Structure 1
Amino acid sequence: MIINSKQSNPRKIIDILLTFFGWMFLALFLYNFITHFNVTVDFTFLELNLANANSILLITVFLVITSAAFLSWWSSYNRRKYGPLKRRTFPRATSEKELGELFELTEGEVREIQYYKYYERN
């Protein structure tokens, strides 16, 4: 979405210059990052053997227990803070008289519109 607003000419020029220099900085940063990225990645830590299986299992169990504890705390916090609030109230029922006054109809016409599938008003 493009937002157009009234700006003075100096402000437009400053905006264009800052945008240009920002894009140039990003382009130079990415160029420098790509040209100097020659590190080989070692995937030996992904090999599963009996020596590190216990540590992987312990870390997984620790993360599951930590996540479960945090979620249960968050649930109890929300229940204590927002549970007793009664914010969901329905509006009261509208009578046929009120609908008739709103649409400038009689109560009989409102009733007829409500109970019949097609209504033609003269």
Structure 2
Amino acid sequence: MIIISKQSKPRKIIDLLLTFFGWLFLIVFLYNFSSHFERNLDFTFLELNLANANSILLITIGVVITSAAALSWWSSYNKRKFGHLKRRTFPPQTNPKEIAQYFQLKEDELKRIQNEKYIEQSNSEASSL
């Protein structure tokens, strides 16, 4: 699905240039990555020693605390900014006369349709629709 929006020409040109350079960067990166790939990889960096475990634990705790602080700040900001707004309003109540007028029915037909469990449409009614 292609979303087309109205953009000015300079903005469209900047968008095309950024997209082009982004794809170019990705292609060059993948080419360099695949051309410098060695078959004999050294996995010693995956060894977990005590110094690595401590630093990984500290970084993880720091990320969790930072994320929790950001989420709680965002929550309090939203409550302060938008908490008092009452945007949800229900549409006004419709009466049977309006419903019958909308569907081009008589009020007694509408009551019959609303109260019957099963409704069959006769041939004359089907041809008029």
TM-score (norm 1): 0.64
Q: Write the letter of the residue equivalent to 1:120.
A: Q
The answer to whether the aligner puts 1:33 opposite 2:32 as a matched pair is yes
Q: Provide closer, same or farther for how the CA distance between residues 48 and 114 of structure 1 changes in structure 2, counting only shifts above 3 A.
A: same
Amino acid at match of 2:63: L
In structure 1, runs of 5+ residues without a counterpart are 4-21
- The SS at the match of 1:64 is helix
Whole-Å Cα distance in 1 between the matches of residues 110 and 67 of structure 2?
Answer: 57
**1:44 corresponds to 2:47:** no
Give the drift of 1:2: 7.2
Q: Distance in 1 between matches of 2:33 and 2:57?
A: 36
Structure 1 counterpart of 2:61, which letter? V
Determine whether 1:111 maps to 2:107: no
Please, what is the CA RMSD of the aligned residues? 3.1
> Percent identity among equivalent residues?
55
Cα distance in structure 1, aligned partners of 2:52 and 2:33: 34
**Where in structure 2 are there 5+ consecutive unaligned residues?**
4-19
If the length of structure 2 is used for normalisation, what is the TM-score? 0.61
Q: How many residues align?
A: 101
